[in-house]
């Protein structure tokens, strides 16, 4: 894929003029007769992110003639400032880019890596028990961050802005600050102890007298502004080899962490081929390993395609039962086979083959939930021929970006790099600390996901782009740990099977099953009668808080429809 043919970027000075010519008011809600939910609509592009300030700056880039990748990288850095608990330069992620002109869809893998000194049993005590405190809340919980390198690579290969131009809004937001929204203040209050345990983190999130910021007060991040300014002036390698790298290494050396200068200097993002499948005439592209997301989205869609889901209807017991049964089987396979393909063989072709889906489907009964204890990982080999943030952006020139990135938990490890102003991830918990022992999301991992130096830990992040007749059609993805894959699956099904507009599709209640524990998790909004029917088939229902935040776009008939997920109060979509 080559850098996209574009109107040349107009430069920061002309952004204001461009905005005047393209007033934000042009981004309106679509009035779709008879619908309860209305997406944002645009005719020349769309931005949907989990924070309105990030949406605004990315929209400004598009309005000034930048392409979707320019806007995505700008949003990625802005979210690291406005939502420091999730989108963050101390973590990593994945970006899918689809270029209608060339027909290519590529995946940028900027997942964190295990430091060179990491060992298979580093999170086990002397008795061989996995110690979750070590893999979640210590300096050893951090993988080598990939976000700065990944966003810079995207820009260099597919964007038109300089890194300094893409960083400028983030630097401004960090320096000048922004008004604290309720979600920010509530998050800090909830995370309480974790954010006061380390002085560097306390100094970042609390006032000098130790009191929390109130809603409406201005939140400034001078250390983060200085870090982003160094990257803008010296390039992405500054993070890995300059003063920022020194600050990370000093933080590690003070607290028995593992990340060294060599780990940072050696970090490289990768360009990979996404997982691909076909669902009812749509081409589905989603993130390949080291994420499990794309493989299992395709696997579940293959199982479900044989059923008349549209005829059964959204929220019907039959539909929900079949989805749960497909989910269980996919997550059982995840526990056995998935890992970083640079280190282990993953039977990708088998897992995503229609033949294997036929075999799995044959084990599904329509009137009875298969207990998870009766489901073991299957055998795809014969079919083998030899808290997180998501945003979606599309421009009017056929370029679309789906990006999910994370520091794992909300606030990651809870440890800020002193003097650098960002939190370290605790992504090492996504490895199997011990085969068979669940991680923080209850996900079981196997040998394929054991810790090895330089390896990328298995992810569930599922940035996804669906094409119809060769055109970008649906751009989606979500945060949510283990629930990312099933959230993304449901946005796809809501659009393709149930014909929902994108705002309805992201707003509709969700369900989730991950094989173990054997429970069908349900958001509020499904009928009690339906849940009773599911229980009668043997499902154990558990009522859950909201799952995921799938900022999504549908492009149809020359219109861009944006769906901001109401599960995040700061979500916003803006068209132009
Ligand atoms: N840290 C969550 C994931 O990557 O799946």
Q: Which H, E and C letters describe 505-541, residue by residue?
A: HHHCCCEECCCCCCCEEECECECHHHHHHHHHCCCCE
Weakest mean pLDDT among 21-35, 52-66, 73-87, 453-467 = 21-35
> What are the residues whose beta carbons fall under 8 Å from the beta carbon of 513, sequence distance 6 or more?
323, 324, 327, 328, 331, 486, 519, 520, 521
CA of 430 to the centre of ligand 1 (A): 6
| Distance in angstroms (rounded) separating the CA atoms of residues 495 and 98 | 19
Report H helices in 242-289.
243-254, 261-266
Three-state DSSP at 136 gives: helix
Residue 27, pLDDT above cutoff 90: no
Residues comprising the binding site for L-glutamate?
Answer: 111, 406-408, 430, 459-460, 481
| Residue 220: its H or E element | none
Q: What is the pLDDT of residue 544?
A: 87
Residue 356 · residue 383 · CB < 8 Å = yes
> What are the residues whose beta carbons fall under 8 Å from the beta carbon of 457, sequence distance 6 or more?
111, 112, 114, 143, 290, 340, 427, 428, 430, 431, 449, 451
Three-state DSSP at 83 gives: coil
CA of 83 to the centre of ligand 1 (A): 17
Residue 29, pLDDT above cutoff 70: no
Q: What is the pLDDT of residue 436?
A: 82
CATH code: domain 40-177+220-437+454-575 is 3.60.20.40
Residue 9, pLDDT above cutoff 50: no
Closest atom, ligand 1, to C-alpha of 482: 5
**Whose Cα sits closest to atom 3 in ligand 1?**
459
Number of Cβ within 10 Å of residue 541's Cβ equals: 17
Long-range Cβ contacts of 275-279 (<8 Å, 24+ apart) = 275/348, 275/352, 276/105, 276/352, 277/301, 277/302, 277/352, 279/305, 279/466, 279/492, 279/496
Instruction: Please list the residues that pair with 36 across neighbouring strands.
Output: none
562: Cβ below 6 Å to ligand 1? no
| Strand residues in 100-244 grouped as ranges (E) | 104-110, 178-179, 218-219
Find the mean pLDDT for residues 106-117.
Answer: 98
481: Cβ below 6 Å to ligand 1? yes
Q: What is the pLDDT of residue 289?
A: 98
Task: Give residue-wise pLDDT tens across range 387-422.
Answer: 789 999 999 999 999 999 999 999 999 999 999 999
460: Cβ below 6 Å to ligand 1? yes
Share of the chain above pLDDT 70, in %: 93
Q: How confident is the model at residue 30 (pLDDT cuts 50, 70, 90)?
A: low
408: Cβ below 6 Å to ligand 1? yes
Return the structure tokens found at 427: 């992504």
> What are the residues whose beta carbons fall under 8 Å from the beta carbon of 156, sequence distance 6 or more?
none
Pocket test for ligand 1, best of 87, 441, 449, 483 (most atoms within 8 A of CB): 441
82: Cβ below 6 Å to ligand 1? no
What is the 8-class DSSP label of residue 6?
Answer: -
Residue that the structure tokens 């890992």 belong to = 339
Residues comprising the binding site?
Answer: 111, 406-408, 430, 459-460, 481
> What are the residues whose beta carbons fall under 8 Å from the beta carbon of 76, sequence distance 6 or more?
87, 147, 151, 391, 403, 405
Report H helices in 427-561.
484-496, 502-507, 528-536
| Distance in angstroms (rounded) separating the CA atoms of residues 176 and 159 | 27
CA of 568 to the centre of ligand 1 (A): 18
Instruction: Please list the residues that pair with 400 across neighbouring strands.
Output: 98, 394
Q: How confident is the model at residue 32 (pLDDT cuts 50, 70, 90)?
A: low
Q: What is the pLDDT of residue 26?
A: 37
Pocket test for ligand 1, best of 430, 432, 443, 548 (most atoms within 8 A of CB): 430
| Distance in angstroms (rounded) separating the CA atoms of residues 60 and 29 | 19
22: Cβ below 6 Å to ligand 1? no
What's the angle, vertex CA 67, arms to CA 566 and CA 219, rounded to 5?
A: 50
Return the structure tokens found at 250: 């000093």
Number of Cβ within 10 Å of residue 153's Cβ equals: 22
Report H helices in 35-142.
52-63, 68-82, 132-137
Mean of the per-residue pLDDT values for the chain?
A: 92
Q: What is the pLDDT of residue 442?
A: 84
pTM recorded for the entire structure: 0.93
Residue 189, pLDDT above cutoff 50: yes
Q: How confident is the model at residue 12 (pLDDT cuts 50, 70, 90)?
A: very low
Number of Cβ within 10 Å of residue 155's Cβ equals: 24
CA of 258 to the centre of ligand 1 (A): 20
Q: What is the pLDDT of residue 415?
A: 97
Task: Give residue-wise pLDDT tens across range 284-337.
Answer: 999 999 999 999 999 999 999 999 999 999 999 999 999 999 999 999 999 999
Task: Give residue-wise pLDDT tens across range 120-130.
Answer: 999 999 999 99
Q: How confident is the model at residue 438 (pLDDT cuts 50, 70, 90)?
A: confident
Each domain of the chain, given as residue ranges in start order, spans 40-177+220-437+454-575
Q: What is the pLDDT of residue 150?
A: 98
Residue 300 · residue 364 · CB < 8 Å = no
Return the structure tokens found at 546: 């909201």
**Whose Cα sits closest to atom 4 in ligand 1?**
459
Q: What is the pLDDT of residue 22?
A: 34
Q: Which residues form the catalytic set?
A: 388
Residue that the structure tokens 């526990």 belong to = 335
| Distance in angstroms (rounded) separating the CA atoms of residues 388 and 481 | 8
403: Cβ below 6 Å to ligand 1? no
Find the mean pLDDT for residues 240-255.
Answer: 98
CA of 210 to the centre of ligand 1 (A): 31
Q: How confident is the model at residue 18 (pLDDT cuts 50, 70, 90)?
A: very low
Task: Give residue-wise pLDDT tens across range 356-399.
Answer: 999 999 999 999 999 999 998 887 866 654 478 999 999 999 99
| Distance in angstroms (rounded) separating the CA atoms of residues 533 and 253 | 57
406: Cβ below 6 Å to ligand 1? yes
Q: What is the pLDDT of residue 272?
A: 97
What's the angle, vertex CA 120, arms to CA 118 and CA 122, rounded to 5?
A: 65
Pocket test for ligand 1, best of 286, 427, 477 (most atoms within 8 A of CB): 427
Q: What is the pLDDT of residue 87?
A: 67
Closest to 317 measured CA to CA, from 362, 367, 370: 367
Closest atom, ligand 1, to C-alpha of 430: 1
């Amino acid at each position: 894929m080559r850098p996209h043919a574009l109107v040349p970027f107009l430069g920061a000075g002309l952004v204001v003029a461009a905005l005047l010519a393209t007033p934000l008011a042009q981004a309106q809600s679509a009035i779709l007769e008879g619908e309860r939910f209305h997406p944002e609509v645009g005719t020349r592009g769309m931005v949907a992110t989990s924070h309105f300030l990030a949406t605004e700056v990315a929209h400004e880039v598009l309005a000034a003639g930048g392409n979707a990748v320019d806007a995505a990288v700008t949003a990625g850095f802005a979210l690291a400032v406005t939502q420091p608990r999730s989108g963050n330069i101390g973590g990593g992620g994945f970006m899918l880019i689809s270029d209608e002109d060339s027909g290519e869809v590529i995946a940028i893998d900027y997942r964190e890596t295990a430091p060179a000194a990491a060992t298979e049993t580093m999170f086990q005590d002397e008795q061989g028990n996995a110690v979750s405190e070590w893999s979640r809340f210590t300096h050893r919980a951090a993988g080598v961050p990939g976000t700065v390198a990944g966003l810079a690579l995207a820009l260099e290969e597919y964007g038109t802005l300089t890194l300094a131009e893409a960083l400028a809004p983030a630097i401004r937001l960090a320096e000048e600050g922004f008004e604290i929204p309720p979600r920010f203040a509530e998050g800090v209050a909830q995370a309480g102890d974790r954010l006061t345990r380390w002085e560097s983190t306390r100094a970042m999130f609390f006032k000098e007298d130790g009191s929390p910021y109130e809603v409406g007060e201005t939140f400034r991040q001078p250390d983060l502004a200085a870090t982003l300014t160094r990257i803008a002036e010296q390039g992405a390698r500054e993070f890995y080899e300059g003063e920022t790298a020194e600050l990370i290494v000093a933080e590690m050396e003070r607290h028995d962490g593992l990340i060294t200068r060599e780990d940072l200097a050696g970090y490289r993002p990768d360009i990979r081929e996404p997982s691909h499948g076909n669902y009812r005439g749509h081409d589905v592209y989603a993130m390949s390993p080291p994420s499990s997301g794309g493989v299992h989205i395709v696997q579940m869609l293959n199982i479900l395609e044989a059923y008349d889901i549209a005829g059964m209807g959204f929220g019907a017991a039959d539909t929900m039962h079949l989805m749960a049964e497909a989910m269980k089987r996919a997550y059982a396979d995840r526990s056995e086979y998935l890992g970083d393909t640079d280190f282990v063989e993953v039977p990708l072709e088998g897992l995503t083959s229609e033949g294997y889906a036929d075999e799995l489907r044959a084990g599904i009964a329509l009137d009875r939930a298969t207990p998870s204890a009766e489901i073991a990982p299957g055998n795809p080999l014969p079919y083998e021929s030899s808290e997180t943030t998501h945003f979606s952006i599309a421009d009017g020139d056929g370029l679309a970006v789906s990006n999910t990135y994370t520091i794992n938990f909300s606030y990651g490890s809870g440890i800020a790099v002193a003097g650098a102003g960002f939190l370290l991830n605790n992504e090492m918990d996504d490895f199997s600390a011990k085969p068979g022992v669940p991680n923080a999301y209850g996900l079981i991992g196997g040998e394929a996901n054991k810790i090895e130096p330089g390896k990328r830990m298995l992810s569930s992040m599922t940035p996804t782009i669906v094409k119809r007749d060769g055109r970008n059609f649906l751009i989606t993805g979500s945060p949510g740990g283990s629930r990312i894959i099933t959230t993304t699956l449901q946005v796809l099904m809501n659009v393709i099977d149930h014909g929902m507009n994108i705002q309805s599709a992201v707003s509709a209640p969700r369900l989730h099953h991950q094989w173990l524990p054997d429970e069908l998790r349900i958001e509020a909004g499904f009928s009690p009668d339906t849940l009773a029917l599911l229980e009668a088939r043997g499902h154990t229902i558990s009522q859950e808080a909201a799952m995921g935040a799938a900022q999504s776009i549908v492009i149809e008939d020359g219109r861009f429809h944006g769906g901001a997920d109401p599960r995040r109060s700061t979500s916003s979509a803006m068209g132009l």
